[in-house]
């Protein structure tokens, strides 16, 4: 396979099967470009989340029967057993479908990751809190109550705090697994706008919760069906003139 230099992540022939046989990936190969939003979409059970969770090795902690293939980030195979998983997860941040603020205050939610990484300087931590909350478009809403428990926020606010928590670590790649599935349209709009801003500096991989969101946000889009990558193209092309029949059927709402 030819390595294209602008691709931040290169996935080579990745296959994976869970022990309970629930969901799997079959021979996925794709390159994910830097500074763009790449959308992974398709019906449930297609392997989108599984692929995301391979990228930060969160799948290590689940029961996996078999896996093969390589994932190169900046040219290094992160599936290598010698990879420093902790460092990898700092470089590849993740936001989940259900916002899960940790059982701490808003401020601590942001600083927790940094403290784990060894940052103790209070001024730097405070700067990081403000910077990342601003990036996640929630600073104005929470700046006066940073010491309140994060679980007391609304769902939309929690999700943006979770995004800020990831941003505080200054990762290079951000994975988002249906980050707006539980949010109202206004919060969703805020998160999507934040992503468009963030992609200037980050590589973003998003599993959207609807085709409409996929079409709105995608620079590049990949259509997954039952563990296989059916089609991978630029977002505009994909959602106007898909090449594969299956993709077209799904986008037109004929199944799924």
Partner 1 sequence: MEKSLNWREFVVTRAIKASGYSAIVFVLLIFVFLMREGLPALSEVDAGNLFSLRWYPIEDLFGILPLITGSLIVTFGAALIAVPFGIGTAIYISEIAPRWMREILKPLVELLGGLPSVVLGFLGILIVSPNLRILLDLPTGLTAFTGSLLLGGIAVPTVVSVAEDALDSVPRAYREGAWALGATKWQTIWRVTLPAAKSGVLTAIMLGVGRAIGETMTVMMVTGNAPVLATSLGSLFSPVRTMTATIAAEMGEVANGSVHYHTLFLIGIILFLISLTVNVIASSVVFRAKKRAERILS
The distance of closest approach from Cβ of residue 148 to partner 1 in the complex, given in angstroms and rounded to an integer, is 11
**Count of chain residues binding partner 1 (CB under 8 A):** 28
Cα–Cα dist 46/67, whole Å: 16
x/- map, 137-156, partner 1, by CB under 8 A = ------------x-xx----
Nearer to partner 1, 76 or 234 (CB): 76
Nearer to partner 1, 73 or 230 (CB): 73
The distance of closest approach from Cβ of residue 102 to partner 1 in the complex, given in angstroms and rounded to an integer, is 5
Sign of the alpha-carbon torsion through 25, 30, 31, 36: negative
> Residue 184: which H helix or E strand, with range?
none
**Cα end-to-end span (Å), the chain:** 32
Provide the edge-to-edge strand list for the sheet that holds 76-77: 24-33, 7-18, 64-73, 76-77
Closest CA relative to residue 51, chosen from 84, 90, 81, 94: 94
3-class SS of residue 87: helix
Query: Of 1, 87, 193, 252, which one interacts with partner 1 (CB under 8 A)?
Result: 87
Closest CA relative to residue 188, chosen from 151, 223, 137: 137
3-class SS of residue 230: strand
The distance of closest approach from Cβ of residue 94 to partner 1 in the complex, given in angstroms and rounded to an integer, is 4
Nearer to partner 1, 184 or 249 (CB): 184
x/- map, 102-131, partner 1, by CB under 8 A = xxx-------xx--xx--------------
Q: Does 18 bind partner 1 (CB under 8 A)?
A: no
Residues at the contact surface with partner 1, assessed by CB under 8 A: 56, 58, 61, 63, 86-87, 89-90, 93-94, 96, 98, 100-104, 112-113, 116-117, 149, 151-152, 162, 165-166, 169
């Amino acid at each position: 396979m030819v390595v294209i230099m602008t691709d931040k992540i290169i996935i080579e022939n990745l296959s994976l099967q869970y022990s309970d046989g629930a969901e799997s990936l079959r021979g996925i190969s794709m390159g994910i470009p830097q500074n763009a939003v790449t959308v992974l979409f398709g019906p449930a059970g297609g392997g989108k989340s599984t692929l995301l969770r391979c990228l930060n090795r969160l799948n290590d902690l689940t029961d996996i029967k078999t896996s093969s293939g390589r994932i190169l980030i900046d040219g290094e195979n992160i599936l290598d057993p010698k990879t420093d998983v902790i460092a990898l997860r700092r470089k590849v941040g993740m936001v989940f479908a259900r916002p899960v603020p940790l059982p701490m205050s808003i401020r601590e939610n942001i600083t927790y990751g940094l403290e784990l990484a060894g940052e103790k300087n209070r001024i730097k931590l405070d700067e990081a809190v403000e910077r990342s909350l601003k990036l996640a478009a929630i600073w104005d809403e929470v700046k006066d109550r940073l010491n309140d428990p994060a679980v007391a926020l609304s769902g939309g606010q929690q999700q943006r705090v979770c995004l800020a928590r990831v941003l505080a670590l200054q990762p290079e790649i951000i994975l988002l697994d249906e980050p707006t599935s539980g949010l109202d349209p206004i919060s969703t709009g805020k998160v999507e706008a934040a992503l468009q801003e963030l992609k200037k500096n980050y590589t973003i991989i998003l599993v959207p919760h609807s085709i409409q969101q996929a079409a709105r946000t995608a620079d590049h889009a990949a259509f997954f069906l039952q563990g296989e990558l059916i089609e991978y193209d630029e977002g505009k092309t994909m959602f106007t003139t898909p090449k594969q029949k299956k993709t077209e059927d799904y986008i037109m709402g004929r199944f799924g």
